[in-house]
Structure 1
C-alpha cells in the first residue's frame, strides 16, 4: 500500500522538526503583532478605516497586506517591507554602480554576503523613514475627517516621544526580519520572509469568514464564492509558479580520440515566472510612495497645495482605474 505523502511529512523526524519550528515562530510573530505602538489610539484608527475615501482605502490595503497590524497600530505595522525595499534598492544600484557590479562579478558568493549585510543595514533607516511616514499619514487622515490624531505629541517639537515611537516601530520590523531569518535557518529553508508575509495575509481569513457568515441573506453564496475563488487562485498560482518552458537546444558533438560523437538534442527548462513576487512588490512600493508623500500636504494652509496633494492621494489611493492600469503595466513591463 502506497504511503501517504502527508503521513510521511509528519513521520520524518527532520521534516517534522522544521515544520514545528516554523509554526512556533509564526505563532510568536502573530503574538507580537498584537503589541501596540506606545500612545496609539485604536478607536481613532478604527474610525479612519471605516470612513473610506482614498486615504482610508490606502490604509485598508496596507492593513490587508500586514494581517491587521495596521488597524491595531502594532509595532509590526510595517511588516518586513522595509527590508524588501532595501533589497530592491541594492539590486537596482548594483548594475548602475561599477564598483558594486565588479564586486558581484569577481566573487559572487562574497558579493552575495556583502549585499545581504548591507540590506540589513539599509533596512534600519528605511524602517525609520517608513515609521515617520505611517504616523504622519494616520494623523493627517484623522485630522482631515475631524478626529484627534492617532498618536498625540508626534513631531520635531516632541523629540523624545517621537523617538520612542520610531524606535519601537523600527525594532518591531527588525524583530520580524529576525524571525524570518530564523525560519529560513531552522525551519523551511529560504522561505522565512515569504512565510512571514503569507502569515500576515492569511491571518485575515477568519475575520473575513466571520463577516460573511454574519450576513444571513448571502451567507452560503458568499462562502461558496470565497472557496471557489480561493481554489482557482491557488491553482493558477501553482500552475504559473511551477510552469516551465522547454527551449530546444542542440549540444555539439565531441571529439573522443579519432572519433566524433553526434550532436545531441536537448531542452533547456526556463521558469515562466522567473521574477517571482519582486515586480508586484516593487510596483506597489512605487505607486504607494506618491500617495504617502502627498498625504503630508493635504492639510496645508495653502489651498492650491492642499488640493493638489489631495488629488495625488485620490489618484494613487488604490481606488481609481488609473491606479490599477498603472499597477498592471508596471508589473507586466
Structure 2
C-alpha cells in the first residue's frame, strides 16, 4: 500500500523548523510591507485610483510587481526587483565580456560568489534609480501634488529627500536580506522567489474586490476569471512537466550496491521549460525600465526631450499594442537566452564524458554538447511561445471583454506562472528533503 510522505513533514524537526522559519520571515516581510515611507501623502492614492494617464498605468504595473506595496508607498515599494535588474545586467554582460564568462566557466563556485557580490553592489544604484523614478511617476499623477512632503533636491528639502530615498533603498535591501535568510536557513534556494510569491498572493483579495466592484457584471467576470485561472494553471503544469528524454549508454563495468555490473543505459531529461518563471520576471523588469527612466525627463525644458519621454511613457506602459508586443517578444527572447546560459553552464558534454556516458552515434565532449543544445533549442521554442502567450493573456482577455487587463483576473497570468513554479519547486524540495531524512522507506507498506 502506497502512503503519502507528507504526514511525516511535521515529525521531522529539521523540516518543521525550516517551514516555521520560512513562514515567520514571510509574516515579517508582509508586516514591513505596510510601513509607509515617512512623509507619504495618502491623497495621491485617491488620484491614482482614478488616473487614466500613462504614469497611472505604469504605476499599476509596478504595483502588481511589488505585491501591492507601491500603492501604499511602503518602504518595500520596490520589492526585490532592483536586485533582479542588476542580476539581468550582469548575466547579459557575461557573453559580451570574455573575462566574466571565463570566470564563471573555470570555477563555477567562485564565479557564483563573484556574481552574487557584484549583483549586490549594482543593486544599490538600480534601487536609487527606481526610487527616484517611482517618486517622479507619482508626482506626475496630479500636478502640484507631491507624493512625499518636503521632497526636492535643493534647499531645506534636501535632507528629508535623501532620508526618504535612502529609506526606500534600505527597504529593498531588507527584502533581499529576508529572502537570503529563507534560502540559507529555510526552504533553500527559494528565498527571493517566495518573497515575490507572497506579494503576488497578497493581491488576490484586492483583485477580488475590484472584480466584484461592478455590480452589473462583477459575478459574470468572477466566473470567467475562475475558469481562466483553472485552465491556465492546468496548462502551466502540463507544459512545465513536458520533458524530452535522451538515451545514454554507459559502456564498460560499473559498481553498484549489488556488485559489479556490465554497462547499461539511462536517460537524460531535457525540459520544455527548464527556466520556469525567470524570463517573465526578467521581461517585466526590463520593459518597465525605459518608462521609469523617461519619468525623469517628462518635465524637461527641451521640447524634444519632453516629447520623447512622453511618447515612451504612452507606448511602453499600460496596454498599448507596442507594450504588449514587446512584452511577448522579450519573454520569448529571455526564455531562449536564459535556457542557453543555463545549458552552457551545465556543460553536459564534459559532465557525461567524465561519467563515461555517451549519446549513441555522437562523439563525447563538444559534439555531444552541440547535439544536446540543438535538441534543447528545438523543444524550448513551444515553451517560449507558451510563456509569451501566458504573459500577455490578461491583455488579450481585456481586449475581448472590453475592460482593463487588471480587472479580468484574480491573479495575473505571469503571477500564476510564478505561483505555480514556486509551489512546484517547494514540493520537489520537500520531497527530496523527506527522502534525505529517511522517510522514503515508509512510502510503501
Calculate the TM-score normalised by the size of structure 2. Answer: 0.67
The CA deviation string for residues 38-66 of structure 1, in whole angstroms up to 9 with x for no partner, is: 11112213312421222211110111121
Q: Does 1:34 align with 2:46?
A: no
Q: Is the 8 A contact 1:45 1:71 kept in 2?
A: yes
Q: Does 1:7 align with 2:7?
A: yes
- SS of the equivalent of 1:318 reads coil
Q: Is the 8 A contact 2:253 2:263 kept in 1?
A: no
Distance across 1 between alignment mates of 2:71 and 2:211:
20
Tell me the equivalent position of 1:150. 147
Matches within 5 A, 1:59-70: 59-70=59-70
Tell me the equivalent position of 1:109. 109
Tell me the equivalent position of 2:227. 228
Distance across 2 between alignment mates of 1:223 and 1:5:
36
Q: Paired residues, what number?
A: 325
Q: Is the 8 A contact 1:140 1:296 kept in 2?
A: no
Deviation at 1:253, TM superposition (A): 4.1
Tell me the equivalent position of 1:82. 82
Q: Which stretch of structure 1 is more off in the superposition, 278-287 or 117-126? A: 278-287
Deviation at 1:71, TM superposition (A): 0.5
Distance across 2 between alignment mates of 1:128 and 1:61:
19
Tell me the equivalent position of 1:20. 20
Tell me the equivalent position of 1:95. 95
Deviation at 1:308, TM superposition (A): 2.9
Tell me the equivalent position of 1:47. 47
Distance across 2 between alignment mates of 1:194 and 1:88:
15
- SS of the equivalent of 1:223 reads helix
Tell me the equivalent position of 1:296. 296
Q: Which stretch of structure 1 is more off in the superposition, 165-174 or 239-248? A: 239-248
Q: Which stretch of structure 1 is more off in the superposition, 89-98 or 157-166? A: 89-98
Tell me the equivalent position of 2:165. 166
Deviation at 1:274, TM superposition (A): 2.2
Q: Does 1:319 align with 2:316?
A: no
Deviation at 1:24, TM superposition (A): 1.0
Calculate the TM-score normalised by the size of structure 1. Answer: 0.88
Q: Which stretch of structure 1 is more off in the superposition, 59-68 or 114-123? A: 114-123
Q: Is the 8 A contact 2:44 2:138 kept in 1?
A: no
Q: Is the 8 A contact 2:34 2:69 kept in 1?
A: yes
Tell me the equivalent position of 1:131. 131
Structure 1: which 5+ runs fail to align?
none
- SS of the equivalent of 2:142 reads helix
1:219–1:11 Cα change, 3 Å: farther
Deviation at 1:213, TM superposition (A): 4.2
Structure 2: which 5+ runs fail to align?
255-260, 334-445
Give the aligned CA root-mean-square deviation in angstroms: 2.5
Q: Is the 8 A contact 1:49 1:59 kept in 2?
A: no
